[in-house]
Amino acid sequence: MLAQEIIAKKRDGRKLSAAELSAAVRGVTDESWSEGQVAAFAMAVFFRGMDRAERVAFTEAMRDSGTVLAWDLPGPVLDKHSTGGVGDNTSLMLAPALAACGAYVPMISGRGLGHTGGTLDKFDSIPGYRTQPDLDTLRRVTREVGCAIIGQTPDIAPADRRLYAVRDVTATVESIDLITASILSKKLAAGLQALVLDVKTGTGAFMAAEKDAQALARALVDVANGAGCRTTALITDMNEPLASVAGNALEVACAIEFLKGDEVDSRLWDVTVALGAEVLASSGLAASVEEGARKMGDVFQSGRAAEVFGRMVHALGGPPDILDDYQTHLPKAAIVEEVCPETTGFVSAIDTRALGWAVVELGGGRRHATDRINPSVGLDWLAGLGRRVDPETPIARIHATSAAELAAARKRVLGAYSISDKPPAEGALIRERVA
């Protein structure tokens, strides 16, 4: 099939067959399609869209463009995906907790994108931890420990890497059809039996409007189930950071404190347990979501999830005593300074996206794909909505490496917080379940 015929058919708003979509993915993967043809295809999909059958066929073709893992394990293979937020380190606790419940979790994660943090960047702050091992290592650690959190290997969904690079420079990133295929092709290539999705909405989310988050959640759930992977989604609030920290090493420390029971953010607990409960129920490891939530609480409170986390870190090259001596192993910023508001009142609104960009400006994220990340910088002590603050009570603490970065971050943080005489109405953390 000629590339121009496939492009023209979608340009004109007609439905593409599974064979035509497979041909398009082959052309992207083997580079028989030029950059211009890939860009034209992405733009045609952006404007004309795909129906459910096209989305499923396209996602399956993207999945099959590389290695699709097969497992022979005594428990179900599960995973989770988040659309990204600020202070969202749920994967660090969720994967070992699911493993402690009897699941196997080969979690293929990504790096930070825009103002949102990336799971792999967090693990890069742990000395020795290998975020890019080969597939044999992924298989071994998953089998022996129960979970392995790593990055996409060259074998997994190679079509997605080229297509995403083209989308990034052609203003087609926001297409729900292409987002769905990009996310799910990598997840489905991991050989999953069940998946849970955390779709964010609010000031810190890519899909800030709830109707857009609902549309993406519905597309992801429909396509994943259509491809044979039992999937549900939760739409969760990102009008404030999920945890009280944002920054790579800081979020690892937060996760370890959570796992050990030393300090637990209530919002972080609620979302992590809810996501785990969903996928445990989907996989049959729990008879219901309610039973799944009880099992999640048990493995956290007993310390079994923490033990799995420590074993995973060591199996992937990190220090064996990460749980007990994380403060020694994790990098620290040279400057730590509190930020207090000028007025007294209640936190009434937070521009969560601005807090994410403050971390990027400190060096904890990327402005360009080639930027190197400083894992030590970030924010903690982040005040949540409804918190009463005053000029002596900090709304955040900044971890920086220079006075200039500190000053820029301080300006961002102060601008992100709105203080008023009355606390805001409390909103739902978990907005909706999509199944």
What is the 3 state secondary structure string of 211-239?
HHHHHHHHHHHHHHHHCCCEEEEEEEECC
| Residue 165 tokens, joined | 């690079």
Closest CA to 84 of 119, 122, 59: 119
As annotated, the residues of the chain forming the CATH 3.40.1030.10 domain(s) are 78-326
The CATH code of domain 335-420 reads 3.90.1170.30
Distance CA 264, CA 420 (A): 27
Within 10 angstroms of residue 161's Cβ, the number of other Cβ atoms is 17
Distance CA 238, CA 251 (A): 16
* Residues in CB range of 159: below 8 A, 6 or more apart: 25, 28, 29, 61, 62, 65, 66, 185
Within 10 angstroms of residue 294's Cβ, the number of other Cβ atoms is 13
Within 10 angstroms of residue 368's Cβ, the number of other Cβ atoms is 5
Instruction: Point out which residues pair with 349 in neighbouring strands.
Output: 418
Asked whether 405 and 365 are in contact (CB, 8 A), the reply is no
Burial of 48 (0-12, 13-18, 19+ CB in 10 A): middle
List pLDDT tens digits, range 176-199: 999 999 999 999 999 999 999 999
Q: Which run of H or E residues covers position 137?
A: helix 135-145
* Band of pLDDT at residue 371, cut at 50, 70 and 90: confident
* Residues in CB range of 363: below 8 A, 6 or more apart: 373, 374, 377, 401, 405
| DSSP code, position 284 | T
SS3 249: helix
Instruction: Tell me what the mean pLDDT of segment 203-208 comes to.
Output: 88
For position 350, what pLDDT does the model report?
97
List pLDDT tens digits, range 206-239: 888 999 999 999 999 999 999 999 999 999 999 9
Please give the share of the chain, as a percent, with pLDDT higher than 90.
89
* Band of pLDDT at residue 84, cut at 50, 70 and 90: confident
Q: Using alpha carbons, list the distances in angstroms from residue 193 to 187, 190, 196.
A: 10, 9, 11
φ and ψ at residue 233, rounded to 5 degrees:
-135, 150
For position 114, what pLDDT does the model report?
66
Distance CA 353, CA 182 (A): 23
List pLDDT tens digits, range 240-288: 999 999 999 999 999 999 999 999 999 999 999 999 999 999 999 999 9
SS3 91: helix
Q: Please determine, for residue 112, whether its predicted confidence score (pLDDT) is greater than 90.
A: no
| Residue 376 tokens, joined | 């030590």
* Band of pLDDT at residue 366, cut at 50, 70 and 90: confident
Query: How, if at all, do strands 194-201 and 78-82 pair?
Result: parallel
Model-level pTM? Answer: 0.94
Query: How, if at all, do strands 417-420 and 147-151 pair?
Result: unpaired
Angle between helices 248-260 and 266-283 (to 10 degrees): 70
Q: Please determine, for residue 403, whether its predicted confidence score (pLDDT) is greater than 70.
A: yes
Q: Please determine, for residue 369, whether its predicted confidence score (pLDDT) is greater than 70.
A: no
List pLDDT tens digits, range 325-345: 999 999 999 999 999 999 999
* Band of pLDDT at residue 115, cut at 50, 70 and 90: confident
The residues carrying an active-site annotation are 79-82, 119, 167, 182, 186-187
Q: Using alpha carbons, list the distances in angstroms from residue 203 to 200, 238, 355.
A: 9, 6, 10
Looking at CATH, the fold of the domain delimited by 78-326 is given as: Pyrimidine Nucleoside Phosphorylase; Chain A, domain 2 (3.40.1030)
List pLDDT tens digits, range 35-54: 999 999 999 999 999 999 99
For position 372, what pLDDT does the model report?
85
Averaged pLDDT score across all residues of the chain: 95
Q: Please determine, for residue 111, whether its predicted confidence score (pLDDT) is greater than 80.
A: no
SS3 109: strand
Higher pLDDT, 111 or 53: 53
Instruction: Tell me what the mean pLDDT of segment 83-109 comes to.
Output: 95
Distance CA 77, CA 432 (A): 25
Q: How far apart are the two ends of the chain, measured CA to CA in Å? A: 36
Q: Please determine, for residue 431, whether its predicted confidence score (pLDDT) is greater than 70.
A: yes
Q: Please determine, for residue 170, whether its predicted confidence score (pLDDT) is greater than 70.
A: yes
As annotated, the residues of the chain forming the CATH 3.90.1170.30 domain(s) are 335-420
Distance CA 388, CA 163 (A): 47
Distance CA 354, CA 204 (A): 8
Distance CA 416, CA 361 (A): 14
* Residues in CB range of 206: below 8 A, 6 or more apart: 83, 84, 114, 116, 200
| Residue 355 tokens, joined | 């807090």
For position 149, what pLDDT does the model report?
96
Distance CA 338, CA 170 (A): 41
Asked whether 246 and 356 are in contact (CB, 8 A), the reply is yes
